Amino acid sequence: MIAGLQAVGASSAEAASGLFAVCIAVAITNVVAALTLRIPLAFAWSTPGAAVLLAAATPGLRFSDAVGAFLVSAALMLLCGLWPLLGRAITRIPRPLASALLAGVLLPICLKPVEAVATLPLLAAPIVIVWLVLYRLAPRWAVPAAMVVAVVSILIAAGTDWVGEAAIAPQLTFVAPTFDLFTILSVGLPLFVVTMAGQNVPGFAVMSANGYVAPPRFALVSGGLGSGVAALFGGHAINLGAITAAIMAGPESHTDKDRRWIATLTNGILYVPLGAGAGLAAALITAAPAILVTAVAGLAVLGALITSIVNALEQPEHRVAAIVTFVVVVSGIVIAGIGSALWGLAAGGLVMAWLGWRRRPTPTVPSFEPSSDSDE
């Protein structure tokens, strides 16, 4: 997340503030949800959203413009909660296109470990080797272990000069937002789409799979409000958890379904000390070679890339549209100041509409049967 915030113009202090603000927003929403609903409805920061920030890095991008884009994304999420029709429309973005969009955003990040090994082999190779060994022996610990090795490598590369610049006490820095249309289209809308499609929709599915009914209005309004407040201090977005939520909503947290909400409460409380280390983390990462930071980020999101590609190509009839979306997003093109994420989604949608129209048989008798809503 810190790397993503810095990619869109945040200073070290602003990135630390953004991380701290998001942690506090997640803590509050988790605690309120647990105590109010008594179900393990969990919130987290938007990991695919952070990937969008990394992919949206543009020379000269002002962080105040990025914050304005964060606010637009938060407002759209809030609107989805208040206006159910819009919420249903967003969640019905075809899965192949949403997955291809996310895969296109993640691929350049997942290439960074390769670049890091080629650029700084003595520092980067141990990170990749430890990840690969543990991915075979203990997959759950592969990324945390790689992160530990990365921190050691960063400490070696950065020396000790960064310690004096670290803000030990957490600080919130207000960022006055400015609104630039191109930044909204290149950062805000893709952030909103991948957060909804990559986190909120799976979050609802996780709750349903574990036998819980997650109230959409509560979840989306809470996420929108939390994201909006965090944005004013540099945070990008919060949303329903998916992977962590699967742990808290599953039998790992408690054998009794009615007691699993305690895991969400505990999770929320523990975000406070996590956010308290934001200043230290930001100072260290700022002093480190950027390629090492993005390398470990690439290893962390490799699983998400695999899942996105599988989901994008799962339906044979939509593979062409998904690949078009993926290729355009990966291209990194910027047209009229708008980044490739939105152009990829638009191109994939046009191809899907054209191929779907061409293949649709012409009915001989008009049908007035209501359409199925089984995908909800």
Q: What integer pLDDT is reported at residue 270 of this predicted model?
A: 92
User: What residue has token string 């809030």?
Assistant: 78
pLDDT, one tens digit per residue, over 24-78 is 999 999 999 999 999 999 999 988 888 889 878 788 889 999 999 999 999 999 9
Q: What integer pLDDT is reported at residue 250 of this predicted model?
A: 78
**Measured CA angle at 216 (ends 236, 207), to 5 deg:** 90
Q: What integer pLDDT is reported at residue 106 of this predicted model?
A: 79
Pick from 1, 42, 48, 3: which is nearest to 20 by CA? 1
**Which two three-digit tokens encode residue 238?**
């919060």
Pick from 233, 259, 209: which is nearest to 70 by CA? 233
**Measured CA angle at 297 (ends 123, 228), to 5 deg:** 145
pLDDT, one tens digit per residue, over 328-362 is 989 888 776 566 777 888 899 999 999 886 555 44
Q: What integer pLDDT is reported at residue 207 of this predicted model?
A: 81
102 and 284 Cβ atoms separated by less than 8 Å: no
CA 49/CA 42 separation, integer angstroms: 17
Q: What integer pLDDT is reported at residue 359 of this predicted model?
A: 54
Distance of CA 155 to the CA centre of its chain: 27
| Interstrand relation of 238-240 and 43-45 (parallel, antiparallel or unpaired) | antiparallel
CA 249/CA 231 separation, integer angstroms: 28
Q: What integer pLDDT is reported at residue 372 of this predicted model?
A: 37
Q: What is the CA radius of gyration of the chain?
A: 21
Q: Which residues of the chain have pLDDT under 70?
A: 87-92, 158-169, 209, 243, 252, 336-339, 357-376
User: What residue has token string 């949800």?
Assistant: 33
CA 83/CA 74 separation, integer angstroms: 14
C-alpha distance across the termini of the chain, in Å = 31
What residues contact 245, with CB distance under 8 A and at least 6 apart? Answer: 40, 41, 42, 44, 203, 206, 207
- For the chain, what is the largest distance between any 2 Cα atoms, rounded to a whole number of angstroms? 77
Q: What integer pLDDT is reported at residue 162 of this predicted model?
A: 61
Pick from 213, 195, 252: which is nearest to 41 by CA? 213
